[in-house]
Amino acid sequence: MTYYKIDKEKKILDICCGLRAMWFNKNHPNAIYCDKRIRPKGFDDFRPNFSVIPDIQTEWSNLPFPNDFFHLVVMDPPHIITKEDSHRMVKYYGHLEKDSWETDIKTGFDEAWRVLKPNGILVFKWSEASIKKKHLLSVLQREPLFGHPNGSRVPCHWLTFMKLEESQ
> What are the pLDDT digits (tens) for 4-32?
778 888 999 999 998 888 999 999 999 99
The DSSP letter of residue 39 is: B
Phi and psi at 81, nearest 5°, equal: -95, 110
Mean pLDDT of the chain: 89
pLDDT at 133: 92
99-to-88, 104, 109, 134 alpha-carbon distances in Å: 22, 10, 18, 18
pLDDT at 168: 54
> What are the pLDDT digits (tens) for 59-110?
999 999 999 999 999 999 998 887 766 667 777 778 888 899 999 999 999 9
Q: Is 131 in contact with 154 (CB distance < 8 Å)?
A: no
43-to-8, 49, 83, 102, 130 alpha-carbon distances in Å: 33, 9, 18, 29, 25
Ramachandran region of residue 68, left (φ > 0), alpha (ψ -120 to 50) or beta? left
Phi and psi at 49, nearest 5°, equal: -90, -5
CA distance 105 to 111: 10
Burial 18-47 (b: 16+ CB within 10 A, else e): bbbeebeeeeeeebbbbbeeebeeeeeeee
Q: Collapsing DSSP states into helix, strand and coil, what is residue 164?
A: coil
